[in-house]
Amino acid sequence: MKLKEAIFKKIEDANLARMENKNLVDCYREKKKDIGNLCTHCHRDTSFGSGLFVNRVPSESETERGYMCPDCLMYECDRCEQLIGCDEDIYLESTHERVHEECATEQELNKIVRG
């Protein structure tokens, strides 16, 4: 439900920006606080030398702009509930699950097209 609300909020903001003849990006930047090298989710330091610099990605929350650390990028496996690193999950279209390679059956792995 939160995703739906966020989408409607962005549409509403875009419509307001158009009515006020403003650039939408500028409207968002005005509202968000730049927190520099801090993670927008856990607020840990992701600067060079912190151990979280290499795999961080630019990120924004409702109120802040910064980076997301690799730990906050992890998914929970839908079968074993352990964390899966970013880009290490397998998405199974038939069941709409994100799983570890070890958690997928041989039959499910054979259906996946590998690039």
| Chain segment 2-60, per-residue pLDDT in tens | 666 766 666 676 665 565 555 555 555 567 888 888 999 899 999 999 988 888 899 88
3-state SS, residue 36: strand
- Residue of higher predicted confidence among 98 and 3: 98
User: How far does Cα 16 stand from its chain's mean position?
Assistant: 26
Name the pLDDT band for 115 (thresholds 50, 70, 90). Answer: very low
Q: How far apart are CA 115 and CA 113, in angstroms?
A: 6
Assign 45 to helix, strand or coil: strand
In which element (H, E) is residue 66 found? strand 64-68
User: At which residue do the structure tokens 């199974």 appear?
Assistant: 92
**Of 94, 70, 95, 96, which is closest to residue 84 (Cα–Cα)?**
70
Residue 9: count of CB within 10 angstroms of its CB: 11
φ and ψ at residue 33, rounded to 5 degrees: -90, 130
Residue 33: its pLDDT value, please? 84
